[in-house]
Amino acid sequence: MRVFLVLSAALSICGCVQADTEQQLLEHAISAHGGYEKLQAAATWVAEVRRYQRGDSYELRNYYRPGMVRLESDLGNGERSADVIGHPHCWGKNGPIIIACSAETRENDRPRVVMEMAAQIWPLRGDDWRLLSTATEKVDGIELATLQVYYKPLNSLAVLRFDAEIGLLHSISIDGIKDGRAGTHTHVYSAYEERCGVLTPTHNVKSFEGDIWVEEDILQMQCVDVAESLFVRPEQVADGFINERTTDEQSLVCIDQAEVPTERPVQQYIAEDGSMSTCPSLDGDSPVVGDAILLPAARQLSIYGFESSAENVTQMITALQDEATIRNYELRWPIRVITYDNDGMGPTGETVVEVTVAVLEK
List of E strands, 66-197 = 68-72, 74-76, 79-80, 82-86, 91-94, 97-100, 129-139, 142-151, 156-163, 169-178, 181-195
Residue 203: pLDDT above 50?
Answer: yes
The answer to whether residues 114 and 101 touch, using CB atoms and an 8 Å cutoff, is no
Question: Per this entry, what is the length of the chain?
Answer: 362
Question: Identical fold at 21-230 and 242-361?
Answer: no
Q: Which of 3.30.70.2190, 3.10.20.600, 3.20.80.10, 3.40.920.10 is the CATH number of 242-361?
A: 3.20.80.10
Residue 33: pLDDT above 90?
Answer: yes
Whole-model pTM: value is: 0.83
For 20, other C-beta atoms within 10 Å of its C-beta total 10
CATH number of 21-230: 2.50.20.10
What pLDDT score was predicted for residue 140? Answer: 86
CA dihedral angle for residue 346, residue 268, residue 316, residue 264, rounded to 10 degrees: 20
Query: Distance between CA atoms of 98 and 236, rounded to whole angstroms?
Result: 5
Q: Domain ranges for the chain, please list them.
A: 21-230, 242-361
Task: Collapse the DSSP code of 54 into the 3-class scheme (helix H, G, I; strand E, B; otherwise coil) and give the result.
Answer: coil
Q: How far is CA 92 from CA 97, 214, 241, 275, 353, in A?
A: 8, 20, 19, 32, 16
Q: What is the mean pLDDT of the chain?
A: 87
What pLDDT score was predicted for residue 19? Answer: 52
pLDDT digits (tens, 9 = 90+) for 276-332: 777 765 544 444 445 667 778 889 999 999 998 989 999 999 999 999 999 999 998
DSSP 229: G
What pLDDT score was predicted for residue 16? Answer: 38
